[in-house]
Amino acid sequence: MKKIYLIIVLFVGFVNYAQQDAQYTQYMYNTMSVNPAYAGSRGVLSLTALHRSQWVGLDGAPKTQTFNVNAPVSDRIGLGLSVVNDKIGPTSETFFDAMFSYTIETSANGKLSFGVKGGLNLLSIDFNQLSRYQNEPTMLENNLNNKMSPNIGAGIYYHSDKFYAGVSVPNILETKYFDDESFSVAKENMNFYFITGYVFDLSPTLKLKPAILTKIVAGAPLQLDVSANFIYNEKFTLGAAYRLDAAWSALAGFNIDRGIMVGFAYDKEITELGNTSFNDGSFEIVLRFELFNKYQKLFSPRYF
């Protein structure tokens, strides 16, 4: 029963509505995936890997893996590479992107970056996974196998020691993947992002870092994520988040060493799907590794 329920939810959502980018709870540690202008902004060679398992306990539930690497190559130019794999029910999509950013100084500690990206998307849909639940054999003739489509994106990102904000459209080209008179259309629509955050000093050892992510997609509900994380002694992070009309989340992070950070998140759905006995919530883990050499020094911790 749980598989039939999920297949109906995912399949109807994918085929009849606008397709959205992968969803992240720890977006504050995975910024380059939503804004190419972030590339190189940390000032070091930075590698980030993330895994998300959504709606654990349901067969065919969304699973996402992300890997990106970025670094500054000069005082003004940053480069980055990103790979995202997103699997939902009978669909599997992989994104390969290269990022370029150009940064200008706006004040003593403020920087404004402009970013662009270009890449390829590979989409596969295996309708055979639905064969036992539908009565239209013609659907099985419409499988997609690594359907390739190009895409481009752009963004603007501002940051200082305690504040950041950015706007972006990671995928500008609206690609139509599937069109048939007997069936519906799946289309990659533009996702518009706005992100912002600030760090408040509560004491010499305790800080509060609220953050917001807003995503707007034509044909889909507004996504608004609000989070608040407490940072203790520049080592431990503990917080909570709320996704509008969708989920509550708990977050925790730990700076293992000067260049190693690990973060965890758990989402509890507040929708009808979240109230089912076979949905154990969503789990997410992120690992960031940064390389310094003997000439590189951080005079203050980086929070973004």
Residue 16 is predicted with a pLDDT of 42
Residue 13 is predicted with a pLDDT of 47
Secondary structure class of 62 (helix, strand, coil)? coil
User: Looking at the predicted structure, is the pLDDT value of residue 291 above 80?
Assistant: yes
- Mean pLDDT computed over every residue of the chain: 85
Residue 151 is predicted with a pLDDT of 92
Share above pLDDT 90 across residues of the chain, in percent, rounded to a whole number: 61
In this predicted model, what pLDDT tens digit does every residue of 230-239 receive, in sequence order? 999 999 999 9
User: Looking at the predicted structure, is the pLDDT value of residue 114 above 60?
Assistant: yes
Higher pLDDT, 44 or 186: 44
Residue 1 is predicted with a pLDDT of 47
Secondary structure class of 159 (helix, strand, coil)? strand
In this predicted model, what pLDDT tens digit does every residue of 64-88 receive, in sequence order? 999 999 999 999 999 999 999 999 8
How do strand 91-105 and strand 77-88 relate by DSSP bridges? Answer: antiparallel
Residue 275 is predicted with a pLDDT of 72
Q: Looking at domain 19-291, which CATH architecture does it have?
A: Beta Barrel (2.40)
User: Looking at the predicted structure, is the pLDDT value of residue 211 above 80?
Assistant: yes
268 alpha-carbon distance from chain centroid? 18
Per-residue pLDDT band for 295 (boundaries 50, 70, 90) equals very low
Q: Tell me the domain boundaries of the chain.
A: 19-291
Sheet containing 186-188: give its strands across.
18-19, 186-188, 175-178
Higher pLDDT, 6 or 60: 60
Residue 118 is predicted with a pLDDT of 97
Residue type, 72: P
Average pLDDT over residues 247-261: 93
Q: 111: which 2 tokens?
A: 């920087």
Q: 98: which 2 tokens?
A: 């290269």
HEC string for 192-218:
EEEEEEECEECCCCEEEEEEEEEEEEC
Higher pLDDT, 111 or 20: 111
Average pLDDT over residues 8-32: 68
Strand partners, 69: 47, 81
Of 48, 22, 26, the closest CA to residue 267 belongs to: 26
Residue 95 is predicted with a pLDDT of 94
Per-residue pLDDT band for 169 (boundaries 50, 70, 90) equals very high
Strand partners, 46: 70, 290
User: Looking at the predicted structure, is the pLDDT value of residue 31 above 70?
Assistant: yes
Of 39, 3, 294, the closest CA to residue 153 belongs to: 39
How many other C-beta atoms are found inside a 10 Å radius of the C-beta of residue 107? Answer: 8
Residue 273 is predicted with a pLDDT of 75
What is the distance between the alpha carbons of residues 142 and 302, in angstroms, rounded to a whole number?
Answer: 48
Query: What burial letters (b/e) apply to 270-286, b meaning 16+ CB within 10 Å?
Result: eeebbebeebebbebeb
